Amino acid sequence: MIGIHEDLAAREAAGRPIRFAIVGAGQMGVDMMAQVRQMRGLEAVAVADIDLGRVLEGYAIAGVPKDQVVVARTAGEANDAVRAGKFVAAEDGGLIPQIEDAESVVDATGHPEAGARIALDCFAHGKHLVMMNVEADVTIGAALRRRAERAGVIYSMAAGDEPAALMELYSFARALGLEIVAAGKGKNNPLNRDAVPEAYEAEARRRGLNPMMLVEFVDGSKTMIEMACVANSTGLTPDVPNMHGPSTSVPQLKDVFKLKQDGGILSRKGVVDYAVGQVAPGVFLVVTTDVPRLRQCLVLRDMGPGPTYTLFRPFHLCSMEVPLTVAMIGLYRRPTMQPLDHPSAEVTAIAKRDLAPGDVLEGIGGRTHHAGCMIYDEARRAGALPIGLAKGCKVKVPVAKGGLITYAAVEPVRDTTVFSLRMEQDQFSAAAQAAAQGETR
């Protein structure tokens, strides 16, 4: 990020700010609207949400004068408003990729199907896509990156959330040639796999959240999703299904996340995981090196005697950091973080209660299931239903509480954009795996 402030200031001085647009005016979207108003060289010129009132309220919170906001119903109205120096508010997210002066679009919806449609619209109109929608990324991220590259645009995960914060540490460690033992985050809510929205309505209201969004954090689904995102961008994998998730603290991380033979919990190196306890809101890497001289250096730098060492970032600023990804793309055509060409981890659906034939699966953070995390190849062999395809599926056979929900157990919802892209991704991932196996024979 060195020099980014100066380069943004230069864009502002030249009268060429980087313009972008946002789909989704929930808590994260509004935070971003307020944040970008404090930055130089960036402008959020249009925001869409199915609740137009939230967009208008967001502009007011961000300090945009009411007479500078234009409600647009068509792409023509939106483009005319932006060219006139106004700010666009819209109900139809489909208008956003059609705004000619917006270089990038930020997806702040959190819904896999919405993310899939927004992505394809962006690529069709030559827009870069900044993906806050991690739920969509862990379901179809490799397919979206491939589609973006074909369109000549950039698909990037957003700065600010734990995955991107972890990617900073990962890139730093890999550049130094350190070996990654574990990459993880602190879970910032007490873990309750049985959490349901009704039990968290009051807390959700207090925090300005949708109850299902809050439950996504509490029941561990968000943690599984975020760590799968990290896995799919690095090639790391979960050590065991659903990861270990020990209760620990920052000073203990390097002793907990090491091999069993060294007194830790891991069966191998190169894993993603999480910790419960005094670690959140930070993210961490546990690293090692076999070079004696470097071990001596690490002792001198108060990193401990080894063989493992902790790299820790004690904060992530969520939506406040997202405009930095817009800037990275606009200034340098570089993403913050991208999935690899095929997944290494899968986010699965696990029954939150006994499910009976005829039950319909709800969205993430609902009453029917929570998320798990497995190695991608193992999930494929088990026929696991990806979490991003679960909503709306009708149960065909009983699934016991805690059981893995499989394709065979439900009637999938096939007539969606996200399902089509997922089938495409599975096909090219299987082909890549077969080619790799052929090369190693």
Average predicted confidence (pLDDT) for the chain: 96
Place of tokens 């990020």: 1
Instruction: Tell me what pLDDT residue 230 has.
Output: 98
Instruction: Kindly report, residue by residue over 257-297, the tens digit of the pLDDT.
Output: 999 999 999 999 999 999 999 999 999 999 999 999 999 99
Q: Which of 319, 326, 322 is nearest to 129 (CA)?
A: 326
Q: What are the pLDDT digits (tens) for 70-116? A: 999 999 999 999 999 999 999 999 999 999 999 999 999 989 999 99
Q: Residues 201-227: what's their mean pLDDT?
A: 92
Phi, psi of 243 (to 5 degrees): 65, 175
Give 431's pLDDT tier (boundaries 50, 70, 90): confident
Mean pLDDT of 285-313: 96
Query: Model confidence at 303, in pLDDT bands (50, 70, 90)?
Result: very high
User: Which domains are assigned to the chain?
Assistant: 4-159+319-332 (3.40.50.720), 162-317 (no CATH), 345-440 (3.90.1210.10)
pLDDT value for 434: 76
Q: How confident is the model at residue 433 (pLDDT cuts 50, 70, 90)?
A: confident
Q: Report the distance separating Cα 412 and Cα 137, nearest Å.
A: 19
pLDDT grade, residue 440 (50/70/90)? Answer: low
Residues 6+ apart with CB under 8 A from 348: 371, 372, 373, 374, 379, 384, 385, 386, 387, 404, 405
371 has pLDDT over 70 = yes
Using pLDDT thresholds of 50, 70 and 90, give the confidence band for residue 441: low
What is the tens place of the pLDDT at every residue in 14-63? 999 999 999 999 999 999 999 999 999 999 999 999 999 999 999 999 99
CA separation for the pair 285, 272 (Å, rounded): 9
Mean pLDDT of 208-228: 93
Question: pLDDT tens digits for 112-156?
Answer: 999 999 999 999 999 999 999 999 999 999 999 999 999 999 999
Tokens of 273: 């995981």
- Give yes or no for a contact between 115 and 147, defined as CB atoms under 8 angstroms apart: no
